Every structure is written in structure tokens, then in C-alpha cells.
């Protein structure tokens, strides 16, 4: 069975010391493809880490993440447009709105500028949210027809059945990660249990979001299998069958890039 980690920050310093071993372990657990979101111009410009990554196929996105709001310059939008031009299949992300970090106005301006680029280049978006799903939906809903068939993914989805439906109705994928391994995440577990299986993708968000039982430790892409196992238990569906469908979903999300 092949696994596709749809969201992993393997280029972060947390993996500087042993990235090669981490990737080998992930591959042994079935991870064959891995999406690395773009978060800043600076980090996207450094490509040395890719040498540590065979035999896993890496797919890179380009975006300006709200966490790094103070680092982003207005000229980075132009840089992003150049990257999208240069890499004809790259998705836009990780982008979004976060209610817990500063300068919401600048976040909003950068987010909408990046959505405009996604529309102009007809690329899917990888969305970061924290208590901002209504705002993200408000921006994206009217643009639905201008985005690709799979318009993107709501990374680390958390929320109710109704919220999940809002996204899947628009064609978005829901990013399923470590959250479903915590029994206290009742609402999200229920939403993921009931969601259309053709709208689910797996993600670790490594080095963040450790699974239940691994709190305080660095998360790793090999845990993609642990997420799939938890999902299989939650949905009471056979792991192999689930794995195959989700692999296909993820290839649809990053479709043109992986052909």
C-alpha cells in the first residue's frame, strides 16, 4: 500500500540532523510521495534538503504562511508569481488566516493576493486556518469556478460535520492528521467519520501535531501510517481499501504534478 503525506515540513530545521534517516523510515512505512508546503520566500529558495529525501518523491508548493507574517515583503507576491510561472504544476500554499498570530490585516491582504494568483494560474490552494474557516470560505466560495476541479485542501481540518460539508461541497479535500487520534477531538472525529471518503487526504504536519501517545515529541512522516490506521478504526473500513482511495484522492489534489 502506498501512502502520500499531503502536508509535511520536512525542510524545517527540526529535521536537519537526521532527515535522511527520517525519510528512509517513512518510505519503509509506505510513504512514497510527500508534499512540502512553501511557507516563506527564504525557505523555498533553499533546496539543499531535497538531497536527503530519496527514495520518497517530493512535491513542493509555494506560498507565504501567516505564521511568518513579519518576514513577508510586498515584493514576495511578485516572487510567488514567478515561481508559479516557472513550475507549471505547483500548488499555492501554505496560505491562510490565523486568528492567534499578529497583524491580521496584513495576513488578509497577503492571503487574498495569493488567492488571486491561484486564480490567475488556475492552481489548487493549501489552506491554513485557526478559527478562520468562515473567512476563508467567504473569500473562496465566489471563486470556486475559477479554481481547478479539486480547488485545494483545508489542512489539519477540525470542526463540525456541517463545516466539513461546506468544504467538500466546494470540492475541497479535508486534511486528516493526528487530531483524530485524540478522543477529546470528538467533533472533528465525527466530521471525519461521516465525510465523503473521496474528500479525505492524510497528513502528518511533521514536525508538528504528534499523534496521541507521542505528545511532546517531534512528529515524523512515518506516522502517516498511524493516521491511516486511526482513520480505518474510526470509519470501520478496511485499511487497504481506505489507503488506495486516499492515495487516489491525493493524486487528484496534486494531479498535474504527479502525472
Binding residues vs Zn ion (CB under 5 A): 94
For residue 15, the minimal CB distance to Zn ion (Å) is 14
> Least CB distance from residue 81 to Zn ion, whole Å?
22
Alpha carbons within 13 A on the beta-carbon side of 113:
20
- Candidates 164, 169, 166, 168; CA nearest to 179 is 164
Strand partners of residue 3: 31
Residue nearest to Zn ion (CB): 94
Sign of the CA dihedral running 43, 45, 46, 49: positive
52 or 205: CB nearest Zn ion: 205
Q: Which is nearer to Zn ion, 173 or 242 (CB)?
A: 173
Residue from 231, 174, 203, 219 nearest 35 by CA: 203
Of residues 40 and 193, the one with the C-beta less far from Zn ion: 40
Q: Least distance to Zn ion from the beta carbon of 236, Å? A: 29
Q: How far is the CB of 249 from Zn ion (least distance, A)?
A: 19
Compute the residue count for the chain.
259
Rounded-to-integer distance, Cα 245 and Cα 194, Å: 16
- Identity of the residue, 76 or 94, whose beta carbon is nearer to Zn ion in the bound complex: 94
Amino acid at each position: 500500500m502506498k501512502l502520500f503525506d499531503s502536508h509535511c515540513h520536512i525542510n524545517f530545521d527540526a529535521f536537519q540532523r537526521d532527515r535522511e534517516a527520517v525519510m528512509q523510515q517513512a518510505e519503509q512505512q509506505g510513504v512514497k510521495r510527500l508534499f512540502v508546503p512553501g511557507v516563506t520566500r527564504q525557505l523555498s529558495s533553499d533546496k539543499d534538503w531535497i538531497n536527503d529525501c530519496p527514495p520518497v518523491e517530493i512535491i513542493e508548493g509555494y506560498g507565504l504562511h501567516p505564521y511568518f507574517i513579519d518576514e513577508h515583503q510586498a515584493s514576495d507576491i511578485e516572487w510567488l508569481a514567478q515561481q508559479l510561472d516557472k513550475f507549471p504544476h505547483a500548488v499555492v500554499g501554505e496560505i491562510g488566516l490565523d486568528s492567534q498570530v499578529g497583524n491580521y490585516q496584513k495576513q488578509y491582504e497577503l492571503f487574498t493576493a495569493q488567492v488571486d494568483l491561484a486564480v490567475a494560474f488556475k492552481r489548487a490552494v493549501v489552506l491554513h486556518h485557526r478559527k478562520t474557516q468562515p473567512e476563508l470560505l467567504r473569500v473562496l466560495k465566489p471563486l470556486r469556478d475559477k479554481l481547478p476541479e479539486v480547488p485545494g485542501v483545508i489542512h489539519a481540518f477540525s470542526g463540525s460535520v456541517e463545516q466539513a460539508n461546506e468544504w467538500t461541497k466546494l470540492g475541497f479535500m479535508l486534511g486528516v492528521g493526528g487530531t483524530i487520534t485524540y478522543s477529546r477531538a470528538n467533533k472533528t472525529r465525527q466530521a471525519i467519520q461521516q465525510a465523503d471518503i473521496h474528500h479525505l487526504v492524510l497528513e502528518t504536519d511533521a514536525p508538528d501535531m504528534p499523534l496521541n501517545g507521542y505528545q511532546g515529541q517531534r512528529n515524523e512522516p512515518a506516522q502517516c501510517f498511524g493516521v491511516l490506521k486511526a482513520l480505518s478504526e474510526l470509519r470501520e473500513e478496511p485499511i487497504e481499501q481506505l489507503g488506495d482511495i486516499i492515495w487516489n484522492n491525493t493524486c487528484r489534489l496534486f494531479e498535474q504534478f504527479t502525472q
